[in-house]
Chain A
Amino acid sequence: AQKITQTQPGMFVQEKEAVTLDCTYDTSDQSYGLFWYKQPSSGEMIFLIYQGSYDEQNATEGRYSLNFQKARKSANLVISASQLGDSAMYFCAMREGDTGRRALTFGSGTRLQVQP
């Protein structure tokens, strides 16, 4: 069975600073995908970034980058130059690789608060 662990229930960061949100995963699949989503107070899950298990380069999308360390089974999200609008819940998720349903398994999330 797959499992995602996010050990930081809450994080604070000063505006314009960088912050790292931790995510570790466990799977026996050889092929899988790792995702980060942002959930503001409105509730919608907003896709941020994707990393495939065979990708050798760390994924980047604007101010978001994913620090992928396959041997350690970690997929940490790095947000550079934090903005007040970054305050939200952040979820790490893994897509099932070898089963037909291709569903996502989610962690419990990290609440990020950006302070002015």
Chain B
Amino acid sequence: DGGITQSPKYLFRKEGQNVTLSCEQNLNHDAMYWYRQDPGQGLRLIYYSQIVNDFQKGDIAEGYSVSREKKESFPLTVTSAQKNPTAFYLCASRDRVNGETQYFGPGTRLLVL
């Protein structure tokens, strides 16, 4: 059963702490994306990766970092430099065909203590 998983579902961050959000896909997609959603708004692009060992900043990359060591995995680290990290984080992977549709994971809700 192919899909995208994200963990944890909820994450609490203390001030000055780095936290890592997990994203795994078994759809065999090359491209993966991280988006941020704030209440009442659409999604904004944080980082993306077109292929293993390559990734690029999106529109709101400050305070975030990523890695792409395996095709299946694209973890996102929220660093202490991100001053307003409270948001809903969604990971997606992109199909090569079918209109290059992006499929999303269930999301991680990050809260600051």
Write the residues of chain A forming the contact surface with B, with a CB cutoff of 8 angstroms: 4, 33, 35, 37, 42-47, 50-52, 91, 93, 95, 100-104, 106-109
Closest chain A CB from B33 CB (angstroms): 6
Residue in chain A with minimal CB distance to B57 = A101
Interface string of B11-44 (1 = CB under 8 A from A): 0000000000000000000010101000011111
Q: In the complex, which residue of chain A has the Cβ closest to the Cβ of B56?
A: A101
Interface range for B: 20 to 34
Residues of B within 8 A of A93 (CB): 42-43
A80 CB to nearest chain B CB (Å): 22
Beta-carbon contacts of B59-83 to A below 8 Å, as 1s and 0s? 0000000000000000000000000
Is A101 a contact partner of B48 (Cβ separation < 8 A)? yes
Residues of B within 8 A of A (CB): 31, 33, 35, 40-45, 48, 50, 56, 58, 88, 90, 92, 94, 98-107, 109
Choose among B41, B45, B99, B104 the residue with the greatest number of A CB atoms under 10 Å from its CB.
Answer: B99
Helix, strand, loop or mixed for chain A's interface?
strand
- The reply to whether A43 and B42 contact each other, CB–CB distance below 8 Å, is no
Nearest CB of chain B from residue A107's CB, rounded to whole Å? 6
Contact B100 A102 (CB under 8 A): yes
A71 to B102, CA, bound (A): 26
Residue of B nearest to A103 (CB): B45
Q: A101: shortest Cβ distance to chain B, in Å?
A: 5
Q: Which of B31, B35, B88, B98 interacts with A102 by CB under 8 Å?
A: B31
Contacts of B92 in A (CB 8 A): 45, 104
Q: A6: nearest residue on chain B (CB-CB)? A: B42
Q: Which residues of A lie under 8 Å from residue B90 when comparing CB positions? A: 43, 45
Q: Which of B33, B92, B101, B105 has the most CB of A within 10 A?
A: B101
Could you pull out 25 A-B pairs where Cβ atoms are within 8 angstroms? Answer: A4-B42, A35-B101, A35-B102, A37-B104, A44-B104, A44-B107, A45-B43, A45-B104, A45-B107, A46-B104, A47-B102, A50-B99, A52-B99, A91-B42, A93-B43, A95-B102, A101-B45, A101-B56, A102-B100, A104-B33, A104-B43, A106-B44, A108-B40, A108-B41, A108-B42
